[in-house]
Amino acid sequence: MKNLFRTKSDKMFDIFNYVFFTIAVIIVIYPLYFIVISSISDPLHVAAGKVVFYPKGFTIEGYEKVMTHDTIPRGYLNSIFYTCLGTFINLLLTLPPGYALSKKDLVFKNQIMVYLVIPMYISGGLIPTYILIKNLDMLDKIWSLLIPGAVSVWNIIIARTFFQSNIPNELWESAMMDGCRHTRFFLSIVLPLSMPLVSVMILFYGIGHWNAWFNALIYIRNRKLFPLQLVLREVLFFNDKNIDFIKDPEELVRRQRLAESIKYASIIVASVPVLMIYPFLQKYFTKGIMVGSLKG
């Protein structure tokens, strides 16, 4: 019956939406698809622009080179460890402050918010940060990758807004009448009701840890502690560096082709874990964060 009341403008609007969002999806997905087909194609075909919709000159030499590198397995394990432990620390330092700041009766609430917001705009810079990490004796230790970015003020603000918008104060008053305190209320009631927020925070922080490499480049010298991203960077750098010393033209061309394959293969190897997790958490963007972000 609804279709009987649809005007021509409504139908045109639907057609426009379908066309627009189809184009948008293609624009977003095609670059990743291109990387996938390029990683299994002959680099000569890729360089010539012949690889557009399907692979040409099938080869997995780039993947073989990347996956047979002796530091790749350890890099994977390190990144998984850093991501899990780092995300746990992030949640521990983000959710409780967000809950506390969502309470109207918090003493010095406005002053605390000002204190938190200032570092969002003012940073000490790389050199003072390096000196601080050195003085704290965290150089070449895993804590140099976890502590400096242990909390995001922006995420605290998001958590505070979510708690204000989705956890009724009447719920706290009811729990308080039954003898419940803030700690028990937060752990037993607030967290179970805030799984959309928790899931999105895990996604935000987890992707940040998984893709992180610059802090490891600055603070870590022990190769056994390298995360995956830094290991892949080393593989690419080592391969490019060796090309400069090759005199044989045929071998030079072959190594350049291999270098291109390694670049595409490295992107896929580093992206697969995130791509596998992301679909399971995507739904919480609209269910959780977006609801709370519309109210302040």
Q: What is the band of 89 on the pLDDT scale with cuts at 50, 70, 90? A: very high
Cα–Cα distance, 129 to 134 (Å, whole number)? 9
Cα–Cα distance, 20 to 30 (Å, whole number)? 15
Task: Give residue 28's identity as a one-letter amino acid code.
Answer: V
Q: How many CB atoms lie within 10 A of CB 175?
A: 17
**pLDDT digits 0-9 by tens, 132-182:** 888 988 888 889 889 888 888 888 988 888 888 888 888 887 888 877 788
Q: In the numeric block, which tokens belong to residue 59? A: 């080869």
Which pLDDT score is estimated for 87? 92
Q: Provide the percentage of residues in the chain whose pLDDT is more than 90.
A: 5
Q: Which of 76-80, 213-217, 279-283 has the lowest mean pLDDT?
A: 279-283
Task: Give residue 204's identity as a one-letter amino acid code.
Answer: F
Cα–Cα distance, 112 to 6 (Å, whole number)? 53
Sign of CA dihedral 284, 288, 291, 295: negative
Q: Which of 19-23, 192-196, 258-262 has the lowest mean pLDDT?
A: 258-262
The DSSP code for 225 is: G
Which pLDDT score is estimated for 295? 43
Say if pTM beats, i.e. exceeds, 0.85: no
Q: Are 226 and 75 in contact (CB under 8 A)?
A: yes
Q: In the numeric block, which tokens belong to residue 45? A: 């075909």
How do the domains of the chain map onto residue ranges? 1-59, 62-293
Cα–Cα distance, 128 to 207 (Å, whole number)? 26
The answer to whether residue 283 scores a pLDDT higher than 70 is no
Angle at 232 between CA 229 and CA 234, to 5 degrees: 110
Q: Which of 25-29, 74-78, 243-247, 256-260 has the lowest mean pLDDT?
A: 243-247
Rg of the chain (C-alpha set): 25
Q: How far is CA 62 from CA 8, 229, 232, in A?
A: 53, 16, 12
Sequence-ordered list of residues with C-beta below 8 angstroms from that of 105, at least 6 positions apart, any chain: none
Q: How far is CA 112 from CA 94, 101, 102, 108, 156, in A?
A: 14, 9, 12, 6, 12
Which pLDDT score is estimated for 1? 46
Tell me what the mean pLDDT of segment 216-235 comes to: 84
Q: Are 227 and 81 in contact (CB under 8 A)?
A: no
At the fourth CATH level, the homologous superfamily of domain 62-293 is: MetI-like (1.10.3720.10)
